[in-house]
Amino acid sequence: MDGVKLEEMEPSVDKLIRDIPRGKPKSGRMWKSVKTERYSQCKQIKRLKTTWAEKMQLKTEKRKIKEFQEHLTEEKVKKKQLNRMRAEANKKRKLLNERKSEITQPIKSTKVKKLKKKQLRMIETR
| Dist CA 10 CA 70 (whole Å) | 67
- Of 8-17, 33-42, 77-86, the least confident: 8-17
**pLDDT higher than threshold 80 for residue 85:** yes
Quick: pLDDT tens for 26-75. Answer: 888 888 887 778 888 888 888 888 899 999 999 999 999 999 999 999 99
Q: What is the pLDDT of residue 124?
A: 78
Quick: pLDDT tens for 92-106. Answer: 999 999 989 988 888
Q: What is the pLDDT of residue 20?
A: 75
Q: What is the pLDDT of residue 11?
A: 63
- Other Cβ atoms within 10 Å of 116 Cβ, number: 7
Q: What is the pLDDT of residue 38?
A: 85
- Residue with the larger pLDDT of the pair 15 and 11: 15
Domain spans, the chain: 52-99
**Three-class SS of the chain:** CCCCCHHHHHHHHHHHHHHCCCCCCCCCCCCCCCCCCCHHHCCCCCCCCCCHHHHHHHHHHHHHHHHHHHHHHHHHHHHHHHHHHHHHHHHHHHHHHHHHHCCCCCCCHHHHHHCCHHHHHHCCCC
pTM of the model: 0.46
